[in-house]
Amino acid sequence: MEELQALLRQAQDGDVDAYGQLVRRFQDMAVGYAYTVLGDFHLAEDAAQEAFIEAYHNLCKVYGPRAFPAWLRQIIFRQCQRQRRGKWGASVILGIEDDLVSEQPNPEAVVARREMQYRLRCAIADLPEHQRQVIALFYVSEYSHKEIAAFLDASVNTVKKRLYDARRRLKERLLIMVQEDLREKRPSKDERFVDKVLQLIAPDEKEHSEGIYKLLERPNHPLTLQWRQGRMSQSHLDWMTSRIGCLDGEVVSVFGVYDISVRIGTARVRTAGINLDATHPDYQGRAQELKEKTALASIEAMRAQGYDLSITFGEEVFFSGLGYVFAWRELGWDVDTDELPSEPPDFELHDFTPDHREDLAELYNRENELITGTAVKPTYWHNKHPSQFQGWFWTNSKGKPVGYISGGAGIKFHLDLDYQVDLDRGEITDALRHQINEGFKGIRGPLSPYAVCAVQVEGNRWLIVDGKGTQRKQRRHLVVNAGDKLNVYLRERSLFWVDESVGDPEQRIQVLGKLARQFYCDAVYFDRLPYKSVLGKRLRQMHSCQIQPDSWGGLRGSRAYVIRIINLRSLFEKLTNELSRRLRKSPLAEWSGNLIISSGEEEIMLVIDRSDVKVKSGGTAENSIRGGQEIAQLIVGTETADEIVEMNQIRLSGKAQQLIEVLFPAQYPQMENQAL
C-alpha cells in the first residue's frame, strides 16, 4: 500500500513515469474486468486504454491509494458502456477472435480451436456476472484475493466465496482452459499495452519542442519554417495549458494555447487562443481521435490555469463538438489603388522589421483600446510570418513614431542574381521557370504555359504575368532587385497586403498609395481590420471599398472565429466596470435589482445597484438570461442582443429584455492576424 501511495502521489504531481508504473500494475486487472463486461479482448483492451487515459486526467479526484482500485473500476465500466453502445448494442455475447485461430496449421485444427473457444466462452458467459469477474481477475494474472477485493470494492471473504462458486460451476478441464486462455491474453506479457496508452501532458519547452516541430514542419507546407522563427518559439504560447499526446515516448499530437489578453470594451479578459495543432502522419487513421483527446485535455486545463474565454478560427465543425460557438466572421477589405492619394507623403518613411517594438506596441494599444476582439500587445515577439512582411513607420518632429504599416506585396522567396539577365531580356527560360516553380511549391501551382515576363524597370523590377483574360484575372508576380538577391513576390491578385497599421487615417492612406504603386498593386487589401476602427470609418467612405467575409484577398473561403466560455464567474468579474459604464450611459442608470446569467454549465448573478455591478455565485432573481455557450456571443457583441437571443433561443425573464440591450450592445468584434 505504501508503494501504491508513493506512485499515486508522484503521478498526481505530473510524473508520467510513475503513472506508467500504475498502468503496468493494474493493466491485467483492467483488461480482465473489461473482458467480463464486453466479452471481447480487443474491445476490452480499447476500453481499458481509454480508462487509463481518463484516469490520468482525473487523478486529483482520488483521495488515497485505498480508493484508487475501485475508482479505476468505475471508469473502466463507463468506458465499457461506451464501447457497448458503439459496437455491441444492448447485450454482450462472448465472441471468437480471429487472431486466435489464424495461426493454426491446418483447417481441422482451426475448427477444433473454434469449437474449444466457443465452449470456453459459453461456459464463462453462463456464469453470473459477479462470478465471471472474480474468475477473470484471479486467472488473468497473479492478483491476490485482497487486491481483487479492493478493485471490486468487496470483502476478501466475498471474493473467496464467488471464486469457490465459480470453480464449482466450471468443470476442471474448462477451468484449466480458462486459466490458459486468460494468461495467454494478459497485456502484461509485453509492453504493447502500456505503449498504447496515450499520455496527454503539458509539454516541456526544452524536452518536447523538437518533437512538436517535427509534427508541424511538414514537407512543402508554407508555414514549415515559421514555427522555429517565432510562431512557436519566443511567442506567447502557454506551455502549461497546451497539451501533447505521447505514444511510446514519441509526440504524436499537439494542441497549443496562446495566452492573450482580449479587449471587450474597456475590459481585458484572459483568453486561450488556439492556432497550433497537428497529429503524427503515422497515425492518420486515429488523427481525429488523437486531436480530440488532446484538445479536450487542454480545454480542461484552461480553467485551472485561470482563463476566462477560449477563441480560435477555422474548423468550425470540429470545435463545435468541443462546445465552441460562432463568434464573428473574418473580414477582408479591398480599396482600389486608383482611389488612394497619388501624391507621396510629405514625411519620411523608415523601414523596420515588423517584430515586437515597445514604442509601436504602445501606439497600437492606444488606438485599439476600445475595440472589442483585439488583443493587447505584446503577443508574438517575432512576426508570426517571418520574412513575409515589411514594416514602415513615420515620426513627428521630435523623432517619435506616430504611425506604422506592416504588410507586403505577396508571399516572398528569393532567386539568384544570375537570373537578372533572363528577366531583362523578357525571357522565362526553363531554368528560371524551374526555380520559380520550386519557390511556389507547397504554396501555389506552377507557372502556366502562358506566363510572360514584362520588364518594368530594367535591372530592377519585373512582372511575371501569368494567365489569360483581364488584368484582374491574371496572376502578376513581382520580381525586385534587392542588391544581393532577387526578391520574388508571389501573388494571386495584385494586392498590397496590410497586415497591421496604426496612425492618422489620412497619413496611412497616403503611405499606402505610395507603397501600392511602388509594388505595382491594383488594390490594397486590409486583413481583419476592425469594422469600428478609425481607419475602417475612413475607408467606408471610399467608392471602391469592399468588405467581405473572407481572408487572403479572396484566395481562401470565409473563416469564422469561434468562442467558448471557460469560467463564467471570472469572466464577469472582469466585465463589471465595463457593464457599469454601459449602464451609466443608459436610461437604466438608476435601476437596481439582480440578474441571473446561465450558460447551462455555470450560473452567476449580477447584483446591480444604480449602475454599480457586482458578481455573486448562485442566488435567485426574477430577471434572468438563460442559454448555452451562445451567451458568449452576447458578451463579445457578435450582433445586436435581440438577434442573438432570437437565433439561439436564449430564454429571458423579467426585465432581462431591457437589460440585455444596454449590457450587451453590438460590438462587431474582430481580432488582428498578429494576435493569434
**Domain spans, the chain:** 2-195, 199-328, 332-354+389-410+494-558, 411-490, 567-663
* pLDDT at residue 97 is higher than 60: no
What's the CA gap between 258 and 644, in Å, rounded?
28
pLDDT one-digit tens code per residue, 548-602: 886 554 555 568 999 999 999 999 999 999 999 999 999 999 999 999 999 999 9
Identify the pLDDT of residue 442: 56
Identify the pLDDT of residue 468: 66
Identify the pLDDT of residue 473: 64
Q: Would you tell me how many other CB atoms lie within 10 Å of the CB of residue 346? A: 7
* pLDDT at residue 657 is higher than 70: yes
Interval 117-141 mean pLDDT? 76
* pLDDT at residue 53 is higher than 60: yes
549's grid cell: 467575409
- Among 62-76, 310-324, 446-460, which is the least confidently predicted range? 446-460
CATH 3.40.630.30 applies to domain 332-354+389-410+494-558: yes
What's the CA gap between 145 and 149, in Å, rounded?
6
Give the predicted TM-score (pTM) of the model: 0.76
Closest CA to 328 of 311, 343, 340: 311
322's grid cell: 468541443
- Among 53-57, 243-247, 300-304, 618-622, which is the least confidently predicted range? 53-57
b/e sequence 291-306, b meaning 16+ C-beta within 10 Å = bebbbbbbbebbeebe
On whether the CB atoms of residues 478 and 491 are closer than 8 A, the answer is yes
User: What is the pairing mode between strands 560-565 and 350-352?
Assistant: unpaired
b/e sequence 438-449, b meaning 16+ C-beta within 10 Å = ebbeeebeebee
What is the pLDDT confidence band of residue 17, given thresholds at 50, 70 and 90?
confident
Distance of CA 83 to the CA centre of its chain: 27
Where does residue 429 fall: left (phi above 0), alpha (psi -120 to 50 degrees), or beta otherwise? beta
* pLDDT at residue 137 is higher than 90: no
What is the pLDDT confidence band of residue 41, given thresholds at 50, 70 and 90?
confident
- Torsion angle of alpha carbons 209, 211, 214, 217, nearest 10°? -30
- Among 263-272, 403-412, 440-449, 458-467, which is the least confidently predicted range? 440-449
Higher pLDDT, 217 or 495: 495
CA atoms within 13 A on the CB side of 442: 12
* pLDDT at residue 218 is higher than 90: no
Interval 659-668 mean pLDDT? 97
pLDDT one-digit tens code per residue, 480-536: 888 889 988 887 778 999 999 999 999 999 999 999 999 989 999 999 999 999 999
* pLDDT at residue 654 is higher than 90: yes
On whether the CB atoms of residues 535 and 508 are closer than 8 A, the answer is yes
Identify the pLDDT of residue 96: 36
What's the CA gap between 473 and 287, in Å, rounded?
38
What is the pLDDT confidence band of residue 119, given thresholds at 50, 70 and 90?
low
Burial of 192 (0-12, 13-18, 19+ CB in 10 A): exposed
Higher pLDDT, 11 or 157: 157
Identify the pLDDT of residue 233: 82
On whether the CB atoms of residues 588 and 659 are closer than 8 A, the answer is yes
Across the chain, mean pLDDT equals: 86
* pLDDT at residue 433 is higher than 70: yes
What is the pLDDT confidence band of residue 108, given thresholds at 50, 70 and 90?
low
Question: SS3 string of 514-532?
Answer: HHHHHCCCCEEEEECCCCC
CATH topology (fold) of 567-663:
Nonspecific Lipid-transfer Protein; Chain A (3.30.1050)
Identify the pLDDT of residue 86: 57
On whether the CB atoms of residues 218 and 442 are closer than 8 A, the answer is no
Q: Which long-range contacts (CB under 8 A, 24 or more apart) does 282-290 make?
A: 282/252, 283/247, 283/252, 283/253, 290/198, 290/245, 290/252, 290/253
* pLDDT at residue 89 is higher than 60: no
Query: Fold match between 199-328 and 332-354+389-410+494-558?
Result: yes
Identify the pLDDT of residue 104: 47
pLDDT one-digit tens code per residue, 256-294: 999 999 999 999 999 999 999 889 888 877 888 889 989
92's grid cell: 454482450
Strand order across the beta sheet in which 592-598 lies: 612-617, 603-609, 592-598, 624-626, 651-653
What's the CA gap between 168 and 587, in Å, rounded?
82
What is the pLDDT confidence band of residue 400, given thresholds at 50, 70 and 90?
very high
CA atoms within 13 A on the CB side of 526: 29
Task: Spell out the alpha helix ranges (H) of 589-666.
Answer: 631-636, 641-648, 656-663
pLDDT one-digit tens code per residue, 219-242: 555 566 688 887 888 889 999 999
Interval 360-374 mean pLDDT? 97
On whether the CB atoms of residues 149 and 156 are closer than 8 A, the answer is yes
Q: Would you tell me how many other CB atoms lie within 10 Å of the CB of residue 112? A: 13
What's the CA gap between 454 and 125, in Å, rounded?
81
What's the CA gap between 600 and 631, in Å, rounded?
9
Identify the pLDDT of residue 197: 72
On whether the CB atoms of residues 51 and 72 are closer than 8 A, the answer is yes
Instruction: Select 199-328's CATH number: 1.10.10.10, 3.90.1150.10, 3.40.630.30, 3.40.50.1820.
Output: 3.40.630.30
Identify the pLDDT of residue 551: 53
